[in-house]
Chain A
């Protein structure tokens, strides 16, 4: 059974960079699409973008200028960096895998990592 676990700092200062890691167990990062999705009381669920194991990315236009995703096949990990954060970026960040070999729908989810943006 594929399991995803997000990790990273729970507190980030305004204007700094949010960095998160998604560690995949019970399966391989290879051959799949990996998404980052965030959840907040104000905006509900927001799709940030995806990365294919080969490195191909597609970002939500709302995040395109600030988000960067990458993968490390040797460590079975997926990464998210979000630059120039503000309080509006406070949210629970989930990594997710598409169903089968598709980008979506999102069949596998991590529990999420709460990130608070505050000085």
Chain B
């Protein structure tokens, strides 16, 4: 299996901050990476796919970048609605795997 490592596991930030989450793959996955946002009691929501393509309806303050083994999700100006857990997911291999998650909490 391709292992996905996310860091940090927890991130404390304030409204208006620029936030960056990193996801590292154990082997090259090209741009076959997605990012999801998950809030308590709700289903995960697709934010970004193919490493940098924003899903329809996702605010432009979210952006994704990277290729190969290192990827980032950036929130340019953190909003109250953005406090959540974020997961990366690779879909290069037939056995799909997620990162361990990054919890973005209020500082």
Residue in contact with A110 in the complex, picked from B43, B87, B94, CB distance below 8 Å: B43
What residues of chain B lie closer than 8 Å to A94, measured between beta carbons? 43-44
Within 8 A of A (CB), among B38-84: 38, 41-46, 49, 55
What residues of chain A lie closer than 8 Å to B21, measured between beta carbons? none
Residue in contact with B1 in the complex, picked from A44, A61, A106, A111, CB distance below 8 Å: A61
Beta-carbon contact of A45 and B49 below 8 Å: no
Beta-carbon contact of A111 and B43 below 8 Å: yes
Chain B interface secondary structure, helix, strand, loop or mixed? loop
Total residues of chain B contacting the partner, CB 8 A: 23
Beta-carbon contact of B95 and A106 below 8 Å: no
Known pairs A46-B98, A60-B96, A61-B95; A107 contacts B55 (CB<8 A): yes
| Bound Cα distance A110, B43 (Å) | 6
What residues of chain B lie closer than 8 Å to A112, measured between beta carbons? 43
Beta-carbon contact of A104 and B91 below 8 Å: yes
Residue in contact with B94 in the complex, picked from A44, A58, A99, A107, CB distance below 8 Å: A58
Total residues of chain A contacting the partner, CB 8 A: 19
What residues of chain B lie closer than 8 Å to A106, measured between beta carbons? 34, 36, 44, 46, 89
The interface of chain A, by Cβ under 8 A from chain B, is: 39, 44-47, 58, 60-61, 94, 99, 103-107, 109-112
The interface of chain B, by Cβ under 8 A from chain A, is: 1, 34, 36, 38, 41-46, 49, 55, 87, 89, 91, 94-101
Which A-B residue pairs are the 7 nearest by beta carbons? Answer: A109-B43, A105-B34, A45-B98, A47-B96, A105-B49, A104-B91, A44-B101
